């Protein structure tokens, strides 16, 4: 179903059309949210909020961009706002109080898994340290594999700005991980 007909059907109360919209975009919206919050349950909750907001404000969608771009924009904003929220900070404090690493076994595979989880944790930490706009551009381009032009549309900025943001983000991450490697040796 084309976007205009789908939107019209949803606005006229067609629940099946809205369910199809959710089915078509749920995975990418959950993945986008996950790239920001690094927690499956939070990402799914945020995705649900994205679709609720989309449903409630679909009459305001002007069609100046693709529907998927509009949904991405909502998802990015929801994820960023959630990371700024007290609820997110309190959850992080509780999680940091727990010891997420189990006692390593002598099995080499368990040790490799722990090392991989540690690297992923450091990557998430490095990405979280990026300025908001750099982080958003990086997540959309690298995690969600959105082309530069679409990232620019989602973020409401120029293509040159996206290129600049990604260059600075990659430079920061390279520096971060070169320092991380030096700390290991």
Q: Which two tokens stand for residue 83?
A: 């990371």
Which CATH number characterizes residue 12's domain? Answer: 1.10.1740.10
Question: 81 or 94: which carries more pLDDT confidence?
Answer: 81
- pTM score of the predicted model: 0.65
Chain Cα centroid distance, residue 5: 28
Which CATH number characterizes residue 132's domain? Answer: 1.10.10.10
* Range among 3-17, 19-33, 101-115 with highest mean pLDDT value: 19-33
Is the domain of 161 the same as that of 116? yes
Residue 52: closest CA among 86, 26, 34: 26
117 with 110: CB under 8 angstroms?
no
Is the domain of 145 the same as that of 90? no
Residue 168: closest CA among 133, 122, 125: 133
Residue 166: closest CA among 139, 129, 184: 139
Is the domain of 58 the same as that of 74? yes
Q: How many domains does the chain have?
A: 2
Is the domain of 109 the same as that of 159? yes
Q: Is pLDDT of 114 > 90?
A: no
**Exposure letters 118-157 (e unless 16+ CB within 10 A, then b):** eeeeeeeebbeebeebbbbbbbbbeebebebebbbbbbeb
pLDDT of residue 4: 83
Is the domain of 79 the same as that of 148? no
User: Domain range for residue 110?
Assistant: 101-185
Which of 106-110, 127-131, 171-175 shows the lowest per-residue confidence on average (mean pLDDT)? 106-110
């Amino acid at each position: 179903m084309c976007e205009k007909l789908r939107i019209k059907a949803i606005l006229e109360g067609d629940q099946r059309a809205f369910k199809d919209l959710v089915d078509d975009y749920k995975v990418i919206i959950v993945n986008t949210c996950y790239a920001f919050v690094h927690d499956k349950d939070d990402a799914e909750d945020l995705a649900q909020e994205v679709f609720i907001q989309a449903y409630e404000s679909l009459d305001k969608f002007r069609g100046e961009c693709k529907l998927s771009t509009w949904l991405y924009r909502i998802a990015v904003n929801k994820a960023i706002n959630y990371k700024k929220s007290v609820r997110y900070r309190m959850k992080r404090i509780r999680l940091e109080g727990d010891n997420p690493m189990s006692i390593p076994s002598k099995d080499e595979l368990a040790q490799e898994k722990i090392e991989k989880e540690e690297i992923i944790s450091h990557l998430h930490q490095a990405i979280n340290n990026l300025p908001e706009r750099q982080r958003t551009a990086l997540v959309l381009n690298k995690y969600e594999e959105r082309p530069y032009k679409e990232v620019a549309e989602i973020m409401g900025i120029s293509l040159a700005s996206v290129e600049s943001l990604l260059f600075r983000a990659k430079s920061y991450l390279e520096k971060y991980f070169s320092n991380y490697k030096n700390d290991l040796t």
